[in-house]
Amino acid sequence: MTAPVPGGAVEVVDPGPLSTLQDRGRRGWAHLGVPRAGALDRGAAALARRLVGGGPDDAVVETTVGGVVLRPHRAVTLAVTGATCAVRVGERAVAHGAPVTVPAGSRVTVGPAATGVRSYVAFAGGIAVAPVLGSRATDTLAWVGPPRLTAGDLLPLGPTPALPEPPPAVVVRPRDPVLRLRRGPRADWLDEVGWSRLDGSSYAIAADSDRVGLRLTGPRMSRRAGELASEGIVLGAVQLPPSGQPVVFLADHPSTGGYPVVAVVEDDDLDACAQLRPGDQVVLRLV
């Protein structure tokens, strides 16, 4: 990807530990084993798109903890949201959570994250790589979609929209470290003692958590022994493997799985899952 890109492009100078393109994900392919993918912190990605006057399906860059260095080859408006981090244009610090217009050739450094895990970088016009199965999201389980970003990539920019009127006021509410759960389809694999122990318990985020799932470590949830035939899984499903340590499935989860789904995380609490770091504590609460 080195030929000049007609509408202008953003060069990836340093992708950091993991940077991918994400949009709202691909729907309608789970029956073929394709994860939905999409931005893990949906609210933050949507805010970034709005700040640059983008549409709801524009692709943005999702970067993980270590950050990303990008160089737009033409003047462009961008915005960074999500995990709080320093944003620099050249040596100049600019605002997080606000639109910034940068000249062609600027070196834009995002991160590393001060709090949270995933920051989003939206560009006016969106990133116009070719969609795969109707989406520009990268899925890190089966690697459907554009490959993860690597140094030297040139990401084509879409046509620049009219800038948004007055930028929307950005209100970032602090999130309580609470995951509210509903009983799931296999709730009966956990007995009433297990349920009462789970409600209000604190779990730590394990180091091997990723876009596939948030792995929790804490009080062992003893479940019924036995095996379950593989069945379809939803975003936010809480699966309980024989270890008794629950896994909350996130955007890149496999479309089917064989461990019982004892609970489902409330949709409003899923964005918070995207920003929990290994070692952070969350309280599980039954609704």
Partner 1 sequence: MTGVEVVEVGPRACLVEVEDALAAASLAAWLRRSGLPAEEVVPAARTVLLDGVDPGAVRDLIPQWAAQPAAPPGPVVRVAVTYAGPDLDRVADHWGCTTEAVVELHTSLEFTSTFCGFAPGFAYLAGLPADRAVPRLDSPRARVAPGSVALADTWCGIYPTASPGGWLLIGTTDAELWDVDRAEPALLAPGTRVRFEVQQ
Closer Cβ to partner 1, 19 or 239, answer by number: 239
The contact mask relative to partner 1 for 133-172 (x = CB under 8 A, - = no) is x--------x-x----------------------------
| Near partner 1 by CB under 8 A: residue from 13, 75, 206, 234 | 234
Q: Which stretch binds partner 1 (CB under 8 A): 111-119, 169-177, 179-187, 200-208?
A: 179-187
Can you give 5-44 as a three-state secondary structure string? CCCCEEEEEECCCCEEEECCCCCCCHHHCCCCCCCCCHHH
Residue 241: how many CB atoms within 10 A of its CB? Answer: 14
How far is CA 87 from each of CA 10, 108, 176, 224, 259, rounded to the nearest angstrom?
16, 7, 26, 49, 42
Taking CB under 8 A as the criterion, which residues in 86-125 touch partner 1?
A: none
Strands 237-239 and 247-249: antiparallel
Angle at 111 between CA 109 and CA 114, to 5 degrees: 155
Least Å from the CB of residue 27 to partner 1: 5
230 binds partner 1 (CB under 8 A): yes
Residue list 19-58, contact with partner 1 (CB under 8 A): 27-34
The Cβ-side half-sphere exposure at 71, using a 13 Å CA radius, reads 13
Task: Among 236, 248, 250, 276, indicate the residue that binds partner 1 (CB under 8 A).
Answer: 236
Determine, following the binding rule CB under 8 A, whether residue 204 of this chain makes contact with partner 1: no
Closer CB to partner 1, 170 or 178, in the complex: 178
User: Which stretch in 52-60, 104-112, 215-223, 253-261 sits in contact with partner 1 by CB under 8 A?
Assistant: 253-261
Q: Considering only residues 57, 176, 208, 231, which one is a binding residue for partner 1 as defined by CB under 8 A? A: 231
Which residue's entry shows tokens 């948004």? 164
Q: Which of 254, 260, 272, 273 binds partner 1 (CB under 8 A)?
A: 254
Binding mask 258-287 for partner 1 (x = CB under 8 A): ---x--x--x--------------------
Report the DSSP pairing between strands 281-286 and 178-183: parallel
How far apart are the C-alpha atoms of 81 and 48, rounded to whole Å? 6
Total residues at interface with partner 1 (CB under 8 A): 29
Phi, psi of 50 (to 5 degrees): -65, -40
User: Distance between CA 247 and CA 206 in Å, rounded?
Assistant: 10
Q: Is 102 left (phi over 0), alpha (psi -120 to 50) or beta?
A: beta
Binding positions for partner 1, rule: CB under 8 A: 27-34, 132-133, 142, 144, 182, 184-185, 229-234, 236-237, 254-256, 261, 264, 267
